[in-house]
Amino acid sequence: MFDRHVFLVGMPGSGKSSLGKKVAANLHVPYQDMDKRIQDIMGKTVVDIFAEYGEKTFRTAETNLLIQITREAPSLISTGGGSAMNPENVKIMKAYGLIILIDRPLDQILSDIKLDRRPTFAEKGLEEVERVYHERYATYHAVADITLDNSEGYYHGVEELEKILRLRFGLYTL
């Protein structure tokens, strides 16, 4: 079990959700996907929330959810791609947990990102993914306590994230 939260940050398409879900299951620790929780709370998809209420409402929901999460048992949390861009969110994550950047090269993200599931990219396309990547890259690295290179495929990413968490929290297999 973790003694504090672990927040996975990074670009949409970097592997936060897929790696987080698998590693949490492997380690038998609670897992949360912030976008999914916001969808469940609001009863709408992230795309619909953006369309109906705007990005500002969604970002406020993210911050409110982070505050709520700090009152819950420590878990492995996949944040939304924009969560780490808000200094208030970073302050919350730093105070209550460990921030791990899931860093994946832009060309790999571009090759398999599902634009229709990403409200900030759905209409503008791959050029927008590239612009946002360059806009956010330095911030992601600046806020991260640990950076995981997720350029060698899903199974390698799972293995590396699991190794980081086992060492950090003393979770050893017998």
Alpha-carbon distance 84 to 91, whole Å? 9
Average pLDDT over residues 44-57: 90
Euclidean distance between CA atoms 159 and 134, whole angstroms: 27
Please give the share of the chain, as a percent, with pLDDT higher than 90: 78
Is the pLDDT reported for residue 12 higher than 70?
yes
Closest CA to 58 of 37, 74, 73: 37
Strand order from edge to edge, sheet including 146-149: 31-33, 76-78, 5-9, 97-103, 146-149
pLDDT digits (tens, 9 = 90+) for 64-98: 999 999 999 999 999 999 999 999 999 999 999 99
Query: Do 81 and 133 touch, CB atoms closer than 8 A?
Result: no
- Cβ contacts of 126 within 8 Å, gap of 6 or more: 110, 113, 115
- ∠ CA 97-109-76 to the nearest 5 degrees? 20
Say what the pLDDT of residue 91 is.
98
Q: Output the pLDDT for position 111.
A: 83
> Exposure pattern of 106-118 as b/e (b: 16+ CB <10 Å)?
bebbeeebebeeb
Whether the CB-CB separation of 121 and 128 falls below 8 Å is answered with yes
Question: What pTM does this model have?
Answer: 0.93
Res 122 pLDDT > 80? no
Flag whether pLDDT at 174 surpasses 60: no
pLDDT digits (tens, 9 = 90+) for 133-173: 999 999 999 999 999 999 999 999 999 999 999 999 988 76
What are the tens digits of pLDDT across the range 13-32? 899 999 999 999 999 999 99
User: What is the CB neighbour count within 10 angstroms for residue 129?
Assistant: 21
Q: How confident is the model at residue 50 (pLDDT cuts 50, 70, 90)?
A: confident
Domain annotation for the chain: domains and CATH numbers:
5-167 (3.40.50.300)
